[in-house]
Amino acid sequence: MPTFDDRETAFEAKFAHDAEMQFKAEARANKALGLWAAALLGKSGDEAEAYAMGVVKADFTEAGHEDVIRHVVADLDGKADMAAVRAKRAECLYAVQAELAKGA
């Protein structure tokens, strides 16, 4: 039945697209969080970019984003607590999702 096959293919494509968009949103939010943390650490320019990429890579350690939170909190060494870092990451993720929804 071609109609059901087409529908199945469309659902699979949507699932793959949604998963890709979520991955991109998470990575961009982690980078934004990294740039925020870099500023708190007094880093700028290439040094801040390199730090932000390290934060993005920290997310590949385990499932979820707690590894990123712990990484940033440890690096900030008292400049921001876990609650502040979680709140900033949530803010970054919300902003990135809004950008992606607009097609940015």
Give the separation between CA 102 and CA 96, rounded to whole angstroms: 10
Which of 34, 30, 60 lies closest to 49, judged by CA? 34
Chain segment 37-75, per-residue pLDDT in tens? 999 999 999 999 999 999 999 988 888 889 999 999 999
Is 90 within 8 Å of 71 (Cβ atoms)? no
Question: For residue 61, what pLDDT is reported?
Answer: 82
Question: For residue 1, what pLDDT is reported?
Answer: 59
User: Does 104 have pLDDT greater than 70?
Assistant: no
Question: For residue 100, what pLDDT is reported?
Answer: 85
Give the separation between CA 34 and CA 73, rounded to whole angstroms: 11
pLDDT above 90 covers what percent of the chain? 61
Q: What is the mean pLDDT of residues 23-47?
A: 95
Q: Going along 6-73, which residue ranges are E strands?
A: none
Give the separation between CA 52 and CA 36, rounded to whole angstroms: 9
User: Does 7 have pLDDT greater than 60?
Assistant: yes
Instruction: Taking the CA atoms of 59, 63, 66 and 67 in sequence, report the sign of the dihedral they define.
Output: negative
User: Does 85 have pLDDT greater than 80?
Assistant: yes
Q: What is the mean pLDDT of residues 18-40?
A: 92
Q: What is the mean pLDDT of residues 22-46?
A: 94
Which of 90, 26, 84 lies closest to 58, judged by CA? 26
